Amino acid sequence: MKTANIDPSSLKITDMRFADIDGAPKRCTLLKLYTNQGLVGYGEVRDASSRTYAAMLKSRILGENPCNVDKIFRRIKQFGGESRQAGGVCGIEVALWDLAGKAWGVPVWQMLGGKFRDKIRVYCDTDNDGGGRDMGKALKARMDSGYTFLKMDLGIELLSDVEGALSAPLGFLEKMREYKQTVFSTPHGSIDPRAMRGEAYDLFNTEHPFTGIHITEKGLDYLENYMAEVRGEIGYEVPLAIDHIGHIPLEDCIKLARRLEKYNLAWIEDPVPWQYTDQYVRLANSTTSPIATGEDIYLKENFMPLLKSGALSVIHPDILSAGGIAETKKIGDIAEAHHVAMAIHMAESPVACMAAVHVAAATRNFMALEIHSVDVPWWDSLVNGLPKPLIQNGYISVPDSPGLGIESLNEELISQKLHADFPEAWGDTSEWDKEWSNDRRWS
């Protein structure tokens, strides 16, 4: 049943505005779509993306009926791209679904075809500065809090201070340590990317086969022992995935994956760039460790080469990179047809989290949803209308309320967490109202 006093057939988008906040856990750009009938839809531009990717699309959606989600998405999806470049398209798409659900009085999962589950399994990416036993204890604490699925980083960042563990161009390891100190001693979202330049930054942004970095046998021994210590603390029954292997070539990934087979991994995430389908095939054929990727892939057609190759055990899309809610649901369904499970990457605010919850509820082959904000005490207070705490015993309950299930944003808290570069929430964006180009993609 449609929301009282709302006429979905005459609903129109009238404005789009932003608020940039820090530390949730990273920099997050929240988005509001306003309408001619007072309904407001909530969306989000992915972490480390630019609000400009969304603002430039404002003129293309003004006056449109937000309930026509697919029509609007097809108009703007050409302006998305790999990784964070899709942030604007995806953030708008999420807000459209929120508005459509509110207008018709139904939750997003119902518009996606219904739900397969009433609660969503959550795993939290866990950081720790100590050794393997320290990481194991940190993960055991997650288990004691009710989490039934775990993930941690295991890669060359652990080896930067271990003498003889890495082989790299002379001088690089020193730069790597300097870079690591800068990045990991600064709160998420607070680093000015213009200050993150230099040899180490360039190497970290060079595709894996071209860096000249290798893990030595000593380094492999260290990482294997680290994993053994972790399993010694948490046992073998709980699923444990690993991420952030580092920019090393495929051959090193194969060596590491083989070393880790005995530790019963849920998956090894993003070992090589997602575009390298042939390397994923070689890796999958060289190890029994499951392989996952997908958080930087935009649109379902870009998942197809990997799915058709048979190299993946798990796909790992992010709602705010993949194309939004409907596109991620389609990606999950395509993955199921190729006998591949879907986990969902999520390192954003509760707005993006709830978008992921609705997709997870409506997708049969869903496995687990990532959360990066378990240790941010105010994170779930950014929104109103959802249970507190949002995560209970390792799960998020699927809401039955309209749209995303968020009644409103906590404007007082948002005003306290604004990013220094954008100290005003929901400021005027009329400069984008008449942005124009001939967007036709054919002659």
Give the pLDDT of residue 170: 87
Give me the domains of the chain, ranges plus CATH numbers: 8-106+408-432 (3.30.390.10), 119-397 (3.20.20.120)
Paired tokens of 195? 């200050």
39-58 pLDDT, tens digit per residue, is 999 999 998 788 999 999 99
CA angle centred on 372, ends 182 and 312, rounded to 5°: 100
Q: Are 83 and 53 in contact (CB under 8 A)?
A: no
Q: Among residues 250, 243, 242, which one has the least CA distance to residue 283?
A: 250
Q: What is the pLDDT along the chain (443 residues), one digit of tens a residue?
A: 667 789 999 999 999 999 999 988 888 999 999 999 999 999 999 987 889 999 999 999 999 999 999 999 999 999 998 877 899 999 999 999 999 999 999 999 999 999 999 999 999 888 888 999 999 999 999 999 999 999 999 999 999 889 999 999 888 788 777 776 766 555 544 455 555 556 656 666 788 888 899 999 999 999 999 999 999 999 999 999 999 999 999 999 999 999 999 999 999 999 999 999 999 999 999 999 999 999 999 999 999 999 999 999 999 999 999 999 999 999 999 999 999 999 999 999 999 999 999 999 999 999 999 999 999 999 999 999 999 999 999 999 999 999 999 999 999 999 999 999 999 999 999 999 998 888 888 88
At CB < 8 A and 24+ separation, what contacts does 333-336 make? 333/363, 333/364, 334/300, 334/303, 334/304, 334/307, 335/303, 335/307, 335/365, 336/363, 336/364, 336/365
- Given CA atoms 331, 336, 339, 343 in this order, what sign does their dihedral have? positive
**Sequence-separated (6 or more) residues with CB below 8 Å from residue 435:** 56, 58, 59, 60
Paired tokens of 193? 């990317």
pTM: 0.95
Radius of gyration of the chain from its Cα atoms, rounded to whole angstroms: 22
